[in-house]
Structure 1
């Protein structure tokens, strides 16, 4: 393998572009395991340059607020991936066109991590498999529920093994139409996780096991079961105090008979409409978007400047 950062590689100017989707994890009962890809995409271009400097240009979400050097999550992930490949990192020039809202429970950090792994793999020509990319993304993110649908698309069931995270992808029923209610306020995954208890009642664990199993059938084949399948007793109630507006919206949607859940760690609310079901307008402070299910992360361009 070439050692990136060497003169011969830097002079060739390898460049790659990847597209990565937003995701919604948990879907109610499937804590840290179930997720959906949504058709809202970030696009990131990376170019290897001479020297060791890292520069990042951000357009859209995060512009003016996220780091623009090696601390940027895409860049930091690329550097970690080069190390995983036993390669010295090159200088990097990144351009991020961000559409996924940050800190809203729509997988923006997972998208950045997946983008970084794919870009480093493309520049190195290493040929990492999807399984290897998933295991590495899980090791960086700490849980696979968002990185799995980001990589694979559709509806995913992710799980951990001694060899790293793995996942199964299923096609969601075409009768299901995801909506997201995105609040103006942001949330932090670390804060949401800190609200969870170390132990939960056995009955609640059994409840969520049954609902998670039902959710797999509901999303893939039996949408009529979605309302019951998105019930949860493991995490949403414990996090409610930290996102009162989202909790209120979730309650109102479910009272109206709509299958809804907090998206990931929140505060976005995910609603799964079936067929032509009408959903209420977004309350003040929220933006409602109807989305489709997304495809997995993909490399959309690669080039080497002579």
Structure 2
């Protein structure tokens, strides 16, 4: 392919009790239009992308080069035109989407023919946990397990009959800062209770018992109690969203964005009510992306 497009969806992770395990793919996107040429060129068309001074220092290029080198392949030169609707450092998987973009870029340019499992393994090695990257690679709601021998297992749940509403504040929160507030250890009793909450949450989702799922997602013990103090309007957003009919509202990833799971068809109405109460936020109903990373030719994009 001399010209093609790579599209990677945003993601929310943790989803309450699924710390470093649950991921949800959302309808915000990082897009790379790729044109093969003799020299490297990177052009960014969005202010939601970090600044760079040369293509060698561009994060996506560095991931692509590293991936090609890992398989002893050459990375051919190309022109990258990059667009993004995923805000940086907001808990919506901007870093994960960039990692996947680099891996898929190498996959296409160097003809690596990577499987989903191989992409997931490479992306997890860079991110440190599989929740965001699994959702953006596979799409939908994905449950992952990263075992001690670094094997990644995953299961994609059927589509959720709910609307998703995100509350994105105009402040950034780095993942490292959000992780620093977490405890180093949990007692056996804490771990047992937290695990049972997570188990019941997933069972309720599968059975479409969304009231129960919402209750369980708000009872997390792994990370939300520790991060709540550094998330703006944490309690106020949860309480008001519940008042307007949300099943449950949780921190998206490491924050500061929050995401509410609400009855299907009620998303736009809840957005309107919540926007009046939190005017400084970007509040929007987002679709669940069930496709994950996609590669298309220029002709397919036009159609």
TM-score range, shorter chain: 0.7 to 0.9
The answer as to whether partners of 1:138 and 1:164 remain within 8 angstroms in 2 is no
Cα pair 2:194 2:222 within 8 Å, conserved: yes
After TM superposition, list the pairs within 5 Å mapping 1:61-100 onto structure 2: 61-63=47-49, 65-66=51-52, 69-100=55-86
8 Å contact from structure 1 (residues 144, 158) kept in 2: yes
The structure whose residues are more often strand, as a share, is 1
For the Cα contact (< 8 Å) 2:12–2:91, is it kept in 1?
Answer: yes
Cα distance in 1 between the residues matched to 2:261 and 2:107: 35
Measured at CA, do residues 111 and 261 of structure 1 come closer, stay the same or move farther in structure 2, by a change above 3 Å?
A: same
Contact 1:152/1:296, CA 8 A, preserved across alignment: yes
How big is the shift at 1:204? 2.7
- Tell me: CA distance 1:300–1:100, structure 2 relative to 1, closer, same or farther (3 Å): same
Cα drift, residue 61 of structure 1: 4.0
* CA deviation string 1:41-87 (max 9, x = no partner): 22112344435xx4321112435735552222211110111111211
Q: 1:244 to 1:226 in 2, by over 3 A?
A: same
State the distance in 1 between where 2:118 and 2:50 align: 33
**Alignment match, 1:29:** 17
Query: Judging changes above 3 Å, is the alpha-carbon distance between structure 1 residues 262 and 64 closer, same or farther for their aligned structure 2 residues?
Result: closer
Write out aligned runs for 1:25-64 (5 A): 25-50=13-38, 54-63=40-49
Could you tell me which residue of structure 2 aligns to residue 298 of structure 1?
A: 294
Mapping for residues 231-242 of structure 1, pairs under 5 Å: 231-242=219-230
Q: For structure 2, which runs of at least 5 residues remain unmatched after alignment?
A: none
Q: Distance in 1 between matches of 2:57 and 2:142?
A: 30
Aligned pairs, how many? 288
Q: Check 1:170–1:276 CA distance in 2 against 1; reply closer, same or farther (3 A cut).
A: same
CA distance in 1, matches of 2:156, 2:182: 28
Residue aligning to 1:224: 211
Q: Which of 248, 256, 272 is equivalent to 1:267?
A: 256
Instruction: Indicate the residue corresponding to 1:5 in structure 2.
Output: none
Deviates more, 1:88-97 or 1:122-131: 88-97
User: Structure 1 or 2: larger helix share?
Assistant: 2
**Whole-angstrom distance in 2 between the partners of 1:247 and 1:187:** 18
Do 2:178 and 2:254's aligned partners in 1 also have CA atoms closer than 8 Å? yes
Q: Deviations over 1:263-287 (max 9, x none)?
A: 0000110000023445341313211
Deviation of 1:245 (Å):
2.8
Q: Is 2:90–2:172's contact at 8 Å kept on the other side of the alignment? A: yes
Moved more, 239-248 or 225-234: 239-248
**Aligned residue in 2 for 1:105:** 91
Structural RMSD (CA): 2.3
- 2:153 equivalent in structure 1: 166
TM-score (norm 2): 0.87
Does the 8 A contact of 1:246 with 1:268 survive in 2? no
Report the 3-state secondary structure (helix = DSSP H, G, I; strand = E; otherwise coil) of the residue aligned with 1:270. strand
The answer (yes or no) to whether the contact 1:55–1:70 under 8 Å persists in 2 is no
CA distance in 2, matches of 1:109, 1:135: 16
Counterpart position of 2:274: 281
Decide whether aligned partners of structure 1 residues 56 and 219 sit closer, same or farther in structure 2, where only a CA change above 3 A counts: farther
